[in-house]
Structure formats: structure tokens, C-alpha cells
Amino acid sequence: MTPSQVREIRARVKDFDDPVRFVIASQFSRKFVLYYNVSSDTYAMNDISAATLFKRRRAAEAIRKLFGPNDCLLEVRVMKNSSVKRVGRYRKPLLKRRRKKG
């Protein structure tokens, strides 16, 4: 194999082994969080395992922008036993404030 092919294979293996994924979520309270599932176009209530896990942040962000301002991205990790663990805290996206005219 050529050196460029070896580099490509190593990059793909490294990408495959990365446990970080992204989930689209909408939180109403601390105990009530909806996680988005792209394949069925539905939200799962308080069940992160039913959500779509995005490998690429840019792809998740592009889909999140199609929804309202209350949805955000959560960073999660896929554990060795295939369970999903939240890494970051839920952060609501910042809304643009309107200035008063006058």
C-alpha cells in the first residue's frame, strides 16, 4: 500500500475509535428532556438511548438549525458496553434580543 493509503486507513480507524457523539435535545426542566430521533422524526422523553447519535458536529448542527431555538446539542460518549453517557451540561442556545426602537 502507498503511504497515503496507510494514512487514510489510520485516520479512519482513529475516527472510528472516537467515542464522542452529539445528540439534539430539548429540555423543559431538569427531569424532563426530549432527545431527537432522526429516523422516525420523533422525540424520546428522558431516554437518550433512543436518540440519534451524530458522529459529526457539523451534521448535527445543520439539523438542529432546522428546529426552533429551544433545541441544543449535547456531547455524549459511547461507553464500551454500548451505553451512552452525557458529557456536557445542557446549554440553551442564546436568543437574539430585540432592541426597543425609540
Per-residue pLDDT tens over the stretch 72-86: 888 998 888 878 877
Query: Is residue 36 within 8 Å of 25, Cβ to Cβ?
Result: yes
Query: Is residue 69 within 8 Å of 12, Cβ to Cβ?
Result: no
Which amino acid is present at 65? K
For the chain, percent of residues with pLDDT exceeding 90: 36
- Structural domain spans, the chain: 18-86
Closest by alpha carbon to 49, among 71, 20, 70, 76? 76
pTM above 0.75, yes or no: no
